[in-house]
Structure 1
């Protein structure tokens, strides 16, 4: 599960874990994962786009995966600034196609708005920012914290494991995709030093901890992205229980000129569940965007 060919680049004096593949002169693509996840969520897409001739960059968002947090409060602006710094560290001076899943979609939009001229197109995959119905359970982290308590901690270990397994399975239409290897990988991710602070800080910055209330920033962000005029592809899994399918319709209303695709029998991460179809769809979109530049 854990990608074997990752490297680190210094961003603001701190290492960021990345995976880079494909020809150096290929059209660059940046892949951004969701909250509490890691660059491994993009492994299949990364490999397939690199095979199509793109220079593909997958990155751990600082504080998640195996990358330590950057200075400042966790949030989309902080993450977007780190990704802009990463592109500088990689000497990527061309506009980049940015794909973001879940929280990564919000980071992608923020990167485009906060760093104009750096983003060639956006692929928003079950992205945050389009609705109020959010299933973001804190239970695994609560139980994991309790499991670390003296004397009584051991009784919470099975609860932590069961909650983490259930949430991982709920990411997919086919729960078997949450393999033991994936569960082991993300359990390790959840034990990283900055994980809990980054998770809680990210949720608070979005105003969605447990309540599902959505922040006021979304309409302003949509308008700013529209003003940029960059091509947008909106992709969703019809069976997404984290950010349900009504968010897809809201995204289509927010970006009426965007290309849109709804995958049947797919959950919150269609780039995993429908890997070949997703890569073909996204690859064709990128080719058209490059041809139009």
Structure 2
């Protein structure tokens, strides 16, 4: 696994990459996250024969921050396409969590020729969240105080033992770095006012009979509840829903071994082979 800066047009990002050959997998984080959220996934997926890349969305992590950035699903969709171009990736399996799932789904609808599969983990953007839920996400984006960060991590991660002091300290410092406040305000305003205008579930449903699509949800997700995943599974023909028990909004991190195994089975066309306690396959 290697990490390096990359400039795309006028925007800087940070790339974490593992594997240098094989079919590409691109991982897209959510609101307030960053590329290293996927550290428990990158090497395992690469060892299975994939080229795996994660990157910081504008306004997050070590990417450019501050006024003037397009912190919205359409803006991030374009940035994802520009990232693929910069990395010389013609086609990829795209994996997104939370807001990153919305970005991934939107990109698949706009550029189905560049997508060989879609994996959505606790994803927004498939069905409307509603004003109350959007308001909670907006408030969270704008609350990067130490207690706010600590509280957010406690909500999105089911096992409190994973929310270490170092984790909280790092999250707080990165999310309060220069320009972060302005970027989170822009993104929060977009989420609160316009996110549901960009819902793509019905459009994605036109593709999923042919486009391999996997939904992975934590049973204890309070940010985007399992009921949303169940609704999405009913909306998207051919999509399968896998539920991971004892996981909240970050199942890819909390239950990385099972998440990785299910994802690799999906990519190999044998979803359901991985059997483990707390892994539930839905129709």
State whether TM-score is above 0.5: yes
Aligned to 1:8: 5
Number of residues of Structure 1 aligned to a counterpart in Structure 2: 262
Matched, 1:122 2:118: yes
Matched, 1:192 2:177: yes
Change (3 A) 1:97 1:140: closer
DSSP 3-state at the match of 1:257: coil
Query: Contact 2:138 / 2:191 at 8 angstroms: preserved in 1?
Result: no
Query: Contact 1:141 / 1:196 at 8 angstroms: preserved in 2?
Result: yes
Query: Contact 1:140 / 1:163 at 8 angstroms: preserved in 2?
Result: no
In 2, Cα distance between the equivalents of 1:251 and 1:140?
Answer: 24
DSSP 3-state at the match of 1:268: coil
What are the Cα deviations for residues 166-210 of structure 1, in whole angstroms up to 9, with x where unaligned?
2111111112211112112211221233322322222322336xx
In 2, Cα distance between the equivalents of 1:227 and 1:8?
Answer: 37
Matched, 1:32 2:28: yes
After TM superposition, list the pairs within 5 Å mapping 1:1-293 onto structure 2: 5-24=2-21, 26-69=22-65, 72-93=69-90, 95-129=91-125, 130=127, 131-132=129-130, 134=133, 135-136=136-137, 138=139, 141-142=142-143, 160-207=145-192, 215-218=196-199, 221-228=200-207, 229-288=210-269
Q: CA deviation at 1:280?
A: 0.4
DSSP 3-state at the match of 1:37: coil
DSSP 3-state at the match of 1:44: coil
What are the Cα deviations for residues 122-175 of structure 1, in whole angstroms up to 9, with x where unaligned?
100000123336342636845x6xxxxxxxxxxxxxxx3223212111111112
Pick 1 or 2: higher relative contact order, CA cutoff 8 A, min separation 6: 1
Q: Which moved more, 1:69-78 or 1:45-54?
A: 69-78
Query: Contact 1:66 / 1:192 at 8 angstroms: preserved in 2?
Result: no
Query: Contact 1:37 / 1:189 at 8 angstroms: preserved in 2?
Result: no
Q: CA deviation at 1:13?
A: 3.2
Change (3 A) 1:200 1:123: same
Q: Which moved more, 1:161-170 or 1:235-244?
A: 161-170
DSSP 3-state at the match of 1:288: coil
In 1, Cα distance between the equivalents of 2:258 and 2:78?
Answer: 31
What are the Cα deviations for residues 249-289 of structure 1, in whole angstroms up to 9, with x where unaligned?
11112213201101111100000111000000001111229
Query: Contact 1:236 / 1:245 at 8 angstroms: preserved in 2?
Result: yes
In 1, Cα distance between the equivalents of 2:65 and 2:195?
Answer: 24
* Structure 2 residues not aligned, in runs of 5+: 271-283
RMSD of aligned residue pairs (Cα, Å): 2.2
What are the Cα deviations for residues 45-97 of structure 1, in whole angstroms up to 9, with x where unaligned?
1111011110000111111011004955310111111111111111112x100
Query: Contact 1:32 / 1:58 at 8 angstroms: preserved in 2?
Result: yes
Query: Contact 1:36 / 1:195 at 8 angstroms: preserved in 2?
Result: no
